[in-house]
Homo-oligomer: A and B are copies of this chain.
Amino acid sequence: MEKNVKRRNTQQRKVILEILRSTDIHPTADWIYEKARQVIPNISLGTVYRNLKILKDEGLILELNDGKQSRFDGRVDQHFHFKCLSCNSIYDIDNRKIVNIEHNDLRKEGYQVQSFDVVFSGICPKCNGNQN
């Protein structure tokens, strides 16, 4: 993928970004593809992948790793994630008070920290209630 190219604001890219910003389920490329087809019936999966990569490069979305699949996040402000080991849902965790990270020590050791993510694993409220 070329850098420093003049990007066009295509229908496809706009729709994909809208879809991502309208959900908090951290969908896969395939889920986004199905949603996008409801708006642009002949959009291709390849186009979805290409645009997700571009949007990520532009810092408009995040890519999360979930086993072998990627999942995408339309929120790019600082927040964390909770992964349910039972239903595999990913939840956003907003409460900043939960996490306090002081990475001055890392900088002193020569690490240049650009970002960080905290991923909690366990059982989500829904599955917990269902005794799953």
Number of copies: 2
Given known A-B contacts A111-B82, A125-B110, A119 and B120 have beta carbons under 8 A apart: no
- Give the shortest distance, in Å, between A88 (CB) and chain B (any CB): 13
The DSSP consensus for interface residues of chain A is: strand
B120→A116 contact, CB < 8 A: yes
Docked CA distance A38–B44 (Å): 45
**Are B119 and A119 in touch, CB under 8 angstroms?**
yes
Tell which of A6-14, A15-23, A100-108 binds the partner.
A100-108
User: With a CB–CB cut-off of 8 A, which chain B residues contact A109?
Assistant: 125
Decide if A128 touches B103 in the complex (CB within 8 Å).
Answer: no
Interface residues of A (CB under 8 A from B): 65-68, 70, 82, 85, 91, 93, 95, 97-103, 105-106, 109-125, 128-129
